[in-house]
Structure 1
């Protein structure tokens, strides 16, 4: 197991332990900082991001390695502490500009928006990551390769920078005095995630907030103007595929509708929210309302519990996928990835309280049972023992029965004629 995989393996249970701790502290303080469907959606997007990373890592790290080998100005040693410290600072500096560009250039915002869509602000939000950031994000780190930071150093400092940012996604840690003036902190990052006018597009630093102070993008959290989270064009969906595609789709439509060729290009390069004048006139959008009602389709308690259990099962499959990734053929790996992404999408539709969500979930359960039943195995596991095979068929079959019972009971209790009571 390489260094990157080792760090991720050890960090994952710590993440969930801290989420559990945050839930407990919030309960003791009588604060409601989590909503189950929102948390499932955020974690599902994190899973999809990791799945995409399995396929994209060869490309992005391969490009970095090539640049180090052929373009590096210096041959920096990987066994020198100063190189590591300098690399971490350099990475954080590059991250600042990538993050800032992600808020100022629409095509980059289309990827980064995923991280901001949640209307909650908690540790699960930290794991809400884009699946398309790999398309252009790697460009911002090539200066490190040109300088000569070795690939193994780059990979580790990138993970350190990412892991650091996990803990700042919480409302339960207040101001930290001098720390807030030097480092990215929960207070600083709450302001970054807010859609209030005074906070919008500030505090981009990953570990150090001094970059924002140097380049004029720092703002302090104000207790008189508490942050409101989400985006100015709310997602209003728990579909993880749509979460990744929504801004690309909206921008593509504006580009298609624009009459001038110049505008067809600029709509991708201008700041988020910019639209060609002719498009805005013909296809107006509603003004942003910070008092808008949050997206929170009501689910019965039974469906909420069902969704959490099914997500836990899918999360276990995702962990298996990541563990087997280095051994599976590309065809099997791709098939498993498609299965997981579509499964998370079906679960998202179910948590939206839509009738089609029940249908998609039943189809997902049918496919989940059919794969081991028809093949005698599972992705990457060609032959299962009889007991394991029986369990892998029985669990989705039992889940289908439970789902039907939960929907039926909810329907009878509500008496609304809806498949999923709202």
Structure 2
């Protein structure tokens, strides 16, 4: 079994990623804004501290526990205890990991509580490598749930952890304006040109292109959207908190959820304010992304909100 070196190996990857960020800044300085970039680094610092505990714990404890406990059942009913580390197993692991990421990512845009944890990543009005490190502080508290099944069916936790790192590293390079359309290739593999859609708050682009490495999940599940000629991406979110404070950027949507739940008139309303889509309201005073795209008119224009 390979040693658990993937997480430790990130210390060699980080300098490379920072190097690309510096290079992008030198080539396209106009794409960077000092306060916004500093906010991104603040968010990344907090996320790194949380991830240092949660990610290692998840791989070494949670995934390993499910992997070990269910080994006898796999042997009895499936005829194996572990999928192993053959080349084809790695390909399956990367595909399975990206499938998991798609649904984790999609639910993080369509379930308000999860959106509250994910929204820091979309809060920038810029699109550059500094945005790629803006990971919400609370993401790792629920993200591993989408990967548990892999450990249950016999993917070694080391393989799962490595696939996660491969996916995260690939996605770092999706956040830049320096790469144009890749044509047919861009319909299969995620790239900055189509990922710009995902980071846009244009009505036509809301809740699209959730894939990590591969875009065929979006084609398969109906969330694919290419750049529309004449509709330039407008980066950021519809309900902008108007701050560069990393703490507020990580908590403002949770605060708003709390305020909405307090004014709920019944259990259903309270439940929907938490687990319904971002922007849901019982009277359409605020709208969801689907309602906005359908042309629903908000009751009060000044209070319209939805996920970006």
Q: Secondary structure at the match of 1:230?
A: coil
CA contact (8 A) 2:83 2:154 kept: no
Equivalent of 2:58 in 57, 60, 72: 60
3-state SS of 1:39 partner: helix
Q: What residue is the counterpart of 1:132 in the other structure?
A: 138
Look up the match of 2:295. none
Q: Equivalent residues in 2 for 1:338-353 (5 A)?
A: none
In the TM superposition, residue 147 of structure 1 has moved relative to its aligned partner by 1.4
The 8 Å contact of residues 285 and 304 in structure 2, kept in 1 or not, is answered as: no
Tell me what 2:42 maps to. Answer: 44
What's 1:294 paired with? Answer: none
Q: 1:5-20, aligned counterparts within 5 Å?
A: 5-20=7-22
Q: Is the 8 A contact 2:285 2:303 kept in 1?
A: no
Q: Distance in 2 between matches of 1:57 and 1:176?
A: 33
Please tell me the root mean square deviation across aligned C-alpha atoms, in Å: 2.0
For the Cα contact (< 8 Å) 1:195–1:230, is it kept in 2? yes
Distance 2:140 2:170 in 1: 20
SS in 2 for 1:198: helix
Deviation of 1:56 (Å): 1.9
Q: Secondary structure at the match of 1:237?
A: coil
Give the alignment of 1:161-240 within 5 angstroms: 161-240=167-246
Asked whether the equivalents of residues 254 and 279 of structure 1 are also in contact (C-alpha less than 8 Å), the reply is no
Superposed displacement of residue 104, structure 1 = 0.7
CA offset digits 1:41-92 (Å, max 9, x no partner): 1121111101011232354222211111113535234431111110010000
CA distance in 2, matches of 1:191, 1:100: 14
Match of 2:302 among 278, 283, 286: 286
The CA distance in 2 between the partners of 1:141 and 1:277, in whole Å, is 37
CA distance in 2, matches of 1:135, 1:116: 19
Report the equivalent of 2:282.
Answer: 276
Q: 2:33 aligns with which of 32, 35, 40?
A: 35
Q: Gaps (5+ residues) in structure 1?
A: 290-422
- Deviation, structure 1 residue 241: 1.1
2-side partners of 1:287 and 1:122: how far apart? 29
Q: Distance in 1 between matches of 2:4 and 2:64?
A: 16
Conserved 8 A contact 1:60-1:134: no
Post-superposition shift, 1:185? 0.7
Q: Does the Cα contact within 8 Å between 2:111 and 2:277 map onto a contact in 1?
A: yes
How far does residue 275 in structure 1 lie from its aligned partner after superposition? 2.2
Partner of 2:112: 106
CA distance in 1 between counterparts of 2:301 and 2:52 reads: 38
Q: How many angstroms does 1:2 deviate by? A: 4.4
Distance 1:232 1:99 in 2: 18
Instruction: Report if aligned partners of 1:259, 1:278 keep a CA contact under 8 Å in 2.
Output: no
**Relative to structure 1, is the Cα distance of residues 6 and 251 closer, same or farther in structure 2, using a 3 angstrom cutoff?**
same
Q: Is the 8 A contact 1:199 1:219 kept in 2?
A: yes
Structure 2 partner of 1:21: 23
The structure with more radius of gyration:
1
* Distance (whole Å) between structure 2 residues aligned to residue 237 and residue 49 of structure 1: 18
| Cα drift, residue 205 of structure 1 | 0.4
In structure 1, what is the equivalent of residue 161 of structure 2? Answer: 155
Unaligned residue ranges in structure 2 (runs of 5+): 75-79, 287-298
Q: Which has the higher contact order (CA 8 A, sep 6+)?
A: 2
1:329-340 equivalence runs, <5 A? none
Aligned partners of 2:49 and 2:271: how far apart in 1?
Answer: 31
Q: What CA distance in whole angstroms lies between the structure 1 residues aligned with 2:57 and 2:264?
A: 34
Count of residue pairs the alignment pairs up:
283
Q: TM-score, normalised by structure 2?
A: 0.87
2:130 alignment partner, SS class: helix
